[in-house]
Amino acid sequence: MKDKGLVEGIGNLYEPNRALTRAEFVTIMDRAFDFSKLLQACSSTVSVTSSVYGCKPATSGTRTSQAASYKDLPATHWASTTMRKAAQLGLLQGYSDGTIGPDKPISRAEVAVLFNRLLQVGKSASITKAVITPSFSDVPASLWSADAIYSLKKQGIINGVTDRDFKPDLPISRAETAVMMDRYFSTLSAK
């Protein structure tokens, strides 16, 4: 993943067991999917390109103005630009208190939802929702992140921490994220 330019260490250390932050995850996703190109394709003017990408134009700049106003995301934050792009794309949402938590550890459930949203950007809006057959004891079909978790599991991108438990509220580690990205790129090359 380092050779692909997706992950970096901190002072010659990768720290594989450290929890990944929301800003770090969004940065990895930007490196993999190029948010600038997605934003251009999803611009407010309907075009052939935006139709191909399955984009829905933002209405009256609400995503843009919301993305600019998170109280814990100053322009000086190292991931400010990337976090704002993710918010503009509708991939990342802030919390009800007006924060977005860039330095907060990201949970396994949040990772699944964000990654699945990114994968949906290029798909037709008319795709029917798959029927979920829960295989994790801690991810019932009614869980807010269940669709994303089971979709990524079905694609071979994400696994549980055991065969029976996903641990959706557990922070995802840097190592787990690298494995997930490797699986994603392996599924692409297998197609």
pLDDT digits (tens, 9 = 90+) for 129-166: 666 788 999 999 999 999 999 999 999 999 999 999 99
* Helix residue ranges per DSSP H, the chain: 22-33, 35-41, 48-52, 62-67, 80-88, 108-121, 146-154, 174-190
pLDDT-derived band at 3 (thresholds 50, 70, 90) equals: low
The arithmetic mean of pLDDT across residues 62-72, rounded, is 64
Q: Is the pLDDT of residue 92 over 80?
A: yes
Q: Give the model's pLDDT for residue 64.
A: 45
Q: Angle at which helices 146-154 and 108-121 pack, to 10 degrees?
A: 70
- Collapsing DSSP to helix, strand or coil, 61 comes out as coil
Mean pLDDT score, 58-67: 44
Assign residue 45 a region (left: φ > 0; alpha: ψ between -120 and 50; beta: otherwise).
beta
The predicted structure's pLDDT at residue 5: 59
pLDDT classification of 69: cutoffs 50, 70, 90: confident
pLDDT for 50: 43
Q: Find the angle CA(63)-CA(22)-CA(122) to the nearest 5 degrees.
A: 55
Separation CA 129–CA 63 (nearest Å):
25
Q: How far is CA 176 from CA 12, 17, 134, in A?
A: 19, 8, 21
pLDDT at residue 7 is higher than 90 = no
Q: How far apart are CA 184 and CA 152, in angstroms?
A: 9
Instruction: State yes or no: pLDDT of 125 exceeds 70.
Output: no
Q: How confident is the model at residue 60 (pLDDT cuts 50, 70, 90)?
A: very low
pLDDT beyond 80 at 47? no
Torsion angle defined by CA atoms of residues 72, 78, 81 and 83, in that order, rounded to the nearest 10 degrees: -50
Residue 112 pLDDT greater than 70, yes or no: yes
CB 26 within 8 A of CB 106: no
Mean of per-residue pLDDT scores for the chain: 82
pLDDT of residue 123: 62
